[in-house]
A and B are shown apart, each in its own frame.
Chain A
Amino acid sequence: MDFRLTKEEESFLKEVQDFLDQNLPDNWIGLDPDGHNEQGDEELHRFDLEFRRKLAARGWLGLQWPKKYGGQEAPMMKQFILEQELIYRGAPYWAVSAALMIGDTILQFGTEEQKRRFLLPIAHGEVQWLVGMSEPNAGSDLANLQLRAVEEGDYFVLNGQKTWQTGGHYADWVCLYARTDPNVKKQKGITTFLVDLKSPGITMRRISQMTGHPAFCEVFYDSVRVPKENVVGQVNAGWSVALFGVATEKSFGYWLINSGRRDLELLIRYCQETEVNGRPMGKDPLIRSRLAQIAIELEVGRTLGRRLHWMATKGMPIVAEACQLKPFGGGILQRLANLGLQILGPYGQLDEKSKWVKLRGRMKYLYLASAAMTIEGGSNEASRNTVAQVGLGLPRS
C-alpha cells in the first residue's frame, strides 16, 4: 500500500499549483464545484471563459483523449490530479467537466465524423455544453424522461422540455436524451442527440435560486429539427449512453470534499485572525473542537477519494464507492456552512456587498448553496440505494 504520488505526478501537481497561483486573483475565495457561482453571475462567467482558454492553451482539456482529437493521451491519474487541484483551489471547472463528460461519451459511442467535429473545439475550450437529462418528471427516475423525438426524413423533430440545465443561457450545444419510442419499456426507447442551441424553436427561462446566482434554466424545445448525423450511438440505444455519462460523473463527491478543504482553511484563518474578548477565536476550545471535527470528516473523505481514484485507474468498478462519497461530501459541506455561520455570528448573514461583510459573504453563500448539494447530481437517497444494491448486494426495495 502506497499513498504517495510518483515523482512525475508530483511535478505535474506543482505545475498545476503554479498555474493557479498565476491565474487566480489574490485572495481568491473560490467557487463551488457544481458551477452555480459562475453560471449564475455575469462577471464570474467572463472569468470562467478566460480561465478555460488558459487551460486549453496549456493543453489541459481532454488530457486523456487521443492526440488527434486535441488530447494528450495522458494517464488517468494526471486528469485526477488536475481536476482535484483546480477544485480545491476553487477555480471554475464545472463547464469544463460537463464538456469533457460529453466528449467522453462521443469518444465511446460516436462516429469518427462526430469525434472530429466535436472534440477539438472542446479541447480548445471554445464550446460550452449542456447535459440535457433532467425533466420536471424525470430526476432520480431519469428513464421517465418524456421529451419526444420523432423521425422525419433526414431529421428528428424534438418537442418537450428539460429543466435544471446548468448554464443553459451560456451554452452553445446540448447533449440531450429524448424519447424516440414511447411504446416500449422506458429505458429501451431513449436516443441521444447533439443539438445546436442556436436551432430555431429553442427557448430558455432562467430559474431563480436562493443564493442569488440563477445558474439553472428550463429549456423548451418546440419542433426543433436535429439532423440525423447528430444521433450518438444507435437510435433507441440512448439509455446505456446516459448510464455511461452518469458513471463518469462519479467524482462529484470527491470534488465536494476538496472544495470543503478550502472553505475550512478559510474559516481557520478567520479564527486565527479574529479576536473575541481579547482572545483569538482559534484558542476557544469549543471552536477548535468543532473545526477539528470537520477536518476529520474531510480527511476521511479525502482518503476515500484517493482510494476511489486508485480503483478507477485500475479499471475497477467504482459506482458504490462514488455513491458513498457523494452523500458524505454533501453532508460535510452543509455542516461546515452551519459552523461557519455560527462562528461568524450575525456577520454571517451579511450580503457580500455590505461594508461589514466577512470572508466576502462566502459562508452565507455556502449555507444557501449547500442545501442543494445533497440533491443535485444524484440525491442522497438515490446514492444510498445504489450503495445498498451495488455495494451491499441488498435486494431492490
Chain B
Amino acid sequence: MDFRYTEEEEAFRREVQAFIKETVPPGWLGVDPGPEEESREDVYPLALKTWRRLGEKGWIGLTWPKAYGGQESPLWKEMILLQELSHHGVPGVDVSSAQADLVLTFGTEEQKKRFIPPITRGEVKWCIGMSEPDAGSDTFAVKLRAVEEKDCFVLNGQKIWSSGAHHAKYEVVYARTDPNNKHLGLSVFIVDLQSPGVTMRQIMQMTGLAPFCEVFFDNVRVPKENLLGEKNGGWAILLHAFGAERTYGLFVLYNAKRYLEQLVQFCRETHVNGEPLAKDPIIRNKLAQMAIEIEVGLNLGHELSWLAMQNQPTVKASSQIKVHGGGVAQRVANMGMQILGLYGQLSEDSKWVKIGGRMRHTYLGSVGFTLAGGTSEVSRGHIAGKAGLGLPKR
C-alpha cells in the first residue's frame, strides 16, 4: 500500500498548476466545475478559451487513442488534471469528454473519425439528452420517440436538464425505438442541435443562472449514421455510462476544498471584536470538521482513481463519494453563510460583498449536488445493492 504520488505524477500536477495560472485571470475566485457557471457572461469566453487551450496541449481525451487525437496516456494523468481544474475552479471542462468516451466505446470507425478529433481540439461541446419530465431516476421510462424511416430516424418528444445544451453542437439523445419493451427499447443518437425541429428553452435556477435546458424535438430527422451502437441497444450504453461515471463526486469535493480554503483565508483576515475570526474556538472547530470531511472524501477519491486504473468496478466507490461529496458541499456552504454573517447574502455586484459572493452562490448551487447526475437516494441504492452491501432489492 502506498499513498504517495510518483515523481512523474507530481511533475504533471505542477505542469497543470502552471497551465491554470496562465489561463485564469489574477485573483480568480473560481467557479463550480461543469456547465453550471459557464452561463455567466464573464465566464463563458474563459471557458471557451480554456477548452481550446486544453485541446492545444493535448489534454482533452488524454487516455484516448492517438488515431483520434488522444495521447494514450495512463488514467492517472487525466485524474490529476481533473483534480486540479476542479480545485482551482477552472471553467471549460464539462460532459463532452464523457460523451466522447461513449463514442469511442460503441461507435463505428467512421463515427470515431468524424466526432472525436474536434472534441480533442477543443472546438466543440457536447451535451446529454437523457432525462425527461417523467424519466429521471427511472431512466428507462424515457418516452422521446425515434421512428425508423427509409433513410433516417425521426425524433419527437422532449428532454430536460440538458446542461450546456445552449452552447453545445451535439447532444447524445436516448430515445425509444421500441415502445413495447421498456428496457430493451432504447436507442442512442448523436443529434446535431442545429437540425431543423430542435428548439430549446433555458431553465432559470435560484442561483440566477440558467445552465440547464429543455430541448424539444419536433420531427427532427437524424441520419442513420448517427445511431450510436445497436438499434434498441441503448441499455448497454446506459449501463456503461453509469458505470463509467466516477467524476461527479470528486469534482464536488475538490470544489468544496477551494471554498473551505477561501473561508479559512477569510477567517484569518477578518477581525471581529479585535480578534481574527480564525482564533474563535467555535469557528476553528467548524472549519476543522469540514476539513476532516473533505479529507475523508478525497481519500475515498484516491481509492476510486486507483480502482479505475486497475480496471476494477467503481460503482460502489463512486456512489459513496457522490453521496459524501454532495453532503460535504452543502455543509461547507451552510458554514460559509454562518461565518460570513449578513454579508453572506449579498450578491456579487454589491460593494460590500465578501469573497466575491461565492458563498451565496454555493449555498444556492450546492442544493442540486445531491440530486444532479444521480440522486443520493439512487446512489445509496447502488451501495446497498450488488455493487456494495449485496442487500436484496426491495
Q: How far is the CA of A21 from the CA of B17 in the complex (A)?
A: 71
Complex contacts, A284 vs chain B, CB 8 Å: 281
* Residues in B whose Cβ lies below 8 Å from that of A285: 280-282
Please report which residues of chain B, range 275-303, place their CB below 8 angstroms from some CB of chain A when the two chains form the complex: 280-282, 285
User: Is A210 among interface residues, defined by CB-CB distance under 8 A?
Assistant: no
**Count of A-B contacts judged by CB separation below 8 Å:** 8
Q: Per-residue CB proximity of B261-287 to A under 8 Å, as 1/0? A: 000000000000000000011100100
The answer to whether A342 has its CB under 8 Å from any CB of chain B is no
CA distance A284 to B281 in the complex (A): 9
A126 to B280, CA, bound (A): 58
CB distance from A271 to the nearest CB of B (A): 15
Chain A residue contacts of B281, Cβ below 8 A: 284-286
B280: nearest chain-A partner, CB-CB? A285
CA distance in complex: A286, B282 (Å):
6
Interface residues of A in 247-279 (CB under 8 A from B): none
Q: In the docked arrangement, what's the CA distance between A284 and B280, Å?
A: 11
Is there a chain B Cβ closer than 8 Å to A289's Cβ? Answer: yes
- Within A273-302, the residues touching B (CB, 8 Å) are 284-286, 289
Cα(A310)–Cα(B285), bound, Å = 41
Q: How far is the CB of A336 from chain B (nearest CB, A)?
A: 19
How many of chain B's residues have a CB under 8 angstroms from any CB in A? 4
How many A residues are at the interface, by size bracket? under 10
CA distance A253 to B285 in the complex (A): 32
Main secondary structure of the interface of A (DSSP, over half): helix
Q: A289 CA to B283 CA in the complex, in Å?
A: 11
A188 to chain B, nearest CB (A): 29
- Chain B residues with Cβ below 8 Å from A286 are 281-282, 285
Please measure, in the bound complex, the distance between the C-alpha atom of A53 and the C-alpha atom of B280, giving whole angstroms.
Answer: 54
**Chain A residues within 8 Å of B282, by CB:** 285-286, 289
Bound complex: CA A289 to CA B338 (Å): 15
Question: How far in angstroms is the closest Cβ of chain B from A390?
Answer: 24
> Shortest beta-carbon distance, B335 to chain A, in Å?
14
Q: In the docked arrangement, what's the CA distance between A285 and B280, Å?
A: 9
Residues of A within 8 A of B285 (CB): 286
Q: How far is the CA of A285 from the CA of B279 in the complex (A)?
A: 12
Q: How far is the CA of A365 from the CA of B251 in the complex (A)?
A: 44
CB distance from B321 to the nearest CB of A (A): 27
CB A376 to nearest CB in B, in angstroms, measures 26
A284 to B282, CA, bound (A): 10
| Min distance, Cβ B339 to any Cβ of chain A, angstroms | 14
| Measured CA separation A48–B338 after assembly (Å) | 49
Give the distance in Å from the alpha carbon of A68 to the alpha carbon of B376 in the complex. Answer: 61
Please report the C-alpha to C-alpha distance between residue A285 and residue B282 in the assembled complex, in whole angstroms. 7
Q: Complex Cα distance A58/B30, Å? A: 72
A285 CA / B273 CA spacing, docked (Å):
15
In the complex, the chain B residue whose C-beta lies closest to that of A284 is B281
> Chain A's nearest CB lies how many Å from the CB of B267?
15
User: Chain B's nearest CB lies how many Å from the CB of A381?
Assistant: 15
**Chain A residues whose CB sits within 8 angstroms of the CB of B280 once the complex forms:** 285
CA–CA, A286 and B286, complex, Å: 10
Q: Measured between alpha carbons, how far is A289 from B280 in the docked complex, in Å?
A: 12
Shortest CB-to-CB span from A287 to chain B, Å, is 10
Closest A residue to B283 using CB positions = A285
Whole-angstrom distance between the Cβ of B377 and the nearest chain A Cβ = 15
- Report how far A286 CA is from B281 CA in the complex, Å: 7
**Chain B nearest CB, measured from A397 CB (Å):** 10
Nearest A residue to B285, CB-CB: A286
Measured between beta carbons, the chain B residues less than 8 angstroms from A289 are 282
Which residue from chain B places its CB closest to the CB of A287 in the assembled complex? B281
Q: Mark A14-55, 1 if CB is under 8 A from B, else 0.
A: 000000000000000000000000000000000000000000
Write the nearest CB–CB distance from B255 to chain A, whole angstroms: 28
How far is the CB of B283 from the nearest CB of chain A, in Å? 10
Interface string of B351-377 (1 = CB under 8 A from A): 000000000000000000000000000
Alpha-carbon distance A158/B285, docked complex (angstroms): 60
Assembled-state Cα–Cα distance A289/B285 (Å): 11
Q: Complex Cα distance A140/B330, Å?
A: 35
Q: How far is the CB of A288 from chain B (nearest CB, A)?
A: 9
* CB of B300 to closest CB in A, whole Å: 25
State which residues 284-334 of A face B: CB under 8 Å. 284-286, 289
8 A Cβ contacts from A78-120 to B: none
CB distance from B276 to the nearest CB of A (A): 15
Complex Cα distance, B280 from A280, in Å, reads: 18
In the complex, how many angstroms separate the beta carbon of B83 from the nearest chain A beta carbon? 33
> A289 — nearest CB in chain B belongs to which residue?
B282
- Give the distance in Å from the alpha carbon of A272 to the alpha carbon of B281 in the complex: 19
- Distance of A285 Cα from B283 Cα, bound (Å): 10
CA distance A301 to B282 in the complex (A): 25
Q: Give A52 Cβ to nearest chain B Cβ, in Å.
A: 46
> CB-CB contacts of A188-212 with B at 8 A, as 1s and 0s?
0000000000000000000000000
CB of A122 to closest CB in B, whole Å? 46
Smallest beta-carbon distance A378→chain B, Å = 24
- Chain B's closest residue to A286 (CB) is B281
A-B contact pairs, 8 of them (CB 8 A): A284-B281, A285-B280, A285-B281, A285-B282, A286-B281, A286-B282, A286-B285, A289-B282
Nearest first, the 7 closest Cβ-Cβ pairs linking A and B are A285-B281, A286-B281, A285-B282, A289-B282, A286-B285, A286-B282, A285-B280
What is the interface of chain A, defined by CB distance below 8 A to chain B? 284-286, 289
> What 5 additional pairs, Cβ within 8 angstroms, besides A284-B281, A285-B282, A286-B285?
A285-B280, A285-B281, A286-B281, A286-B282, A289-B282
